[in-house]
Copies of this chain bind each other. A is one copy, B any other.
């Protein structure tokens, strides 16, 4: 049995509580199926700042780079609202994405049948919803330079951020979206603001050319990102795979996640390019939700997004497809049984805490 190395970065707030439930599943897979997972744990976000004065230490960064996969919890909280910009909790997350070159962020927005009534949308609009947002994660306005605040004198300052996209960056994320579409309903919708942004014009051209060159079997549509936000709310089931840039992906995936009624339950995968010789890709898996400082430490957080992120890890980093499917099925079963954490509590359901939810899923797994 080969060794599979996992680097755990539980982070702040509810991150550690959610991660503990994944650790139970990992231990179980090692004991029960000799899965050979070897884990190490580091610090990220506010907890790293408290320990090292940085949102992630170089030593932990090196471990993340070396691991087969990183599991990431959540970062941030009011305690660190006033730390210097360069050391703010999010800087740890952004450094991981950038240094590991995790350019492809996969954010499924699925509606668990047991939760369709929890959506703020009418149930018929979201029942069976299964969208995959493919967000570019290492470019755009997140990382472009100049990015600064200049003092202009006279009490005036100037804040500057730069959106930059090169052809190859657009090509490779489009490729990921088209490949994934082929495993699903074979449709990609690309979103940008080409009517206002030059990077949007280039985005549109490169996606179109990539499609023509290599993926003309996939159906491709283009939509302006603002119209896309609208359409996500109007008729979300029209979409299969959505491919978009870093900032639009941030906005659109948050809107999409809210449609599902499963906010706090959605996982994500951030993937690098396959290594030219080994074929391995660097990868990090994290819940879409944040650190929820208001409920941290009380044992009531919903661990499902973190567990579902581990299912994505099984699928994308270790090609353990059967196990990934089984874990996702276990989550759906537990929801069908009416077992709920407080955030997704419904009349007639049984309310449990973080640990019981983890145990229930493990029992079904």
Give A contacts to B, CB under 8 Å.
76, 85, 88, 90, 94, 120-122, 125, 141-142, 144, 147-149, 152, 155-168, 193, 195-203, 225-227, 229-230, 232-235, 247-248, 250-252, 254-255, 257-259, 263
Shortest Cβ gap from A171 to chain B (Å): 10
Q: Which of the listed residues A85, A158, A196, A252 has the most CB atoms from chain B within 10 Å of its own CB?
A: A196
User: With A226-B254, A233-B259, A251-B251 in contact, is A159–B152 under 8 Å at CB?
Assistant: no
Q: CB < 8 Å: which of B141, B193, B229 contacts A255? A: B229
8 pairs from A and B in contact (CB 8 Å cutoff): A120-B235, A122-B122, A161-B163, A163-B163, A193-B250, A226-B250, A226-B254, A234-B263
Assembled-state Cα–Cα distance A263/B196 (Å): 22
Complex Cα–Cα for A197 and B234 (A): 29
Asked if A159 and B202 make an inter-chain contact with CB atoms under 8 angstroms apart, the answer reads: yes
B200 pairs with A159, CB closer than 8 A: yes
Instruction: Please state if B227 and A149 are interface contacts (CB–CB under 8 Å).
Output: no
Question: Which listed residue, B88, B199, B234, touches A161 by the CB 8 Å rule?
Answer: B199
Using CB atoms, name the residue of chain B closest to A232.
Answer: B255
- Residue of B148, B196, B263 near A230 (CB, 8 A) is B263
Known: A142-B196, A161-B163, A161-B200. 11 other contacts (CB 8 A): A88-B195, A141-B196, A147-B198, A157-B166, A158-B164, A160-B199, A162-B162, A226-B250, A226-B251, A229-B229, A248-B251
- Interchain nearest-CB distance for A105 vs B (Å): 13
B residues in contact with A147, CB < 8 Å: 197-198
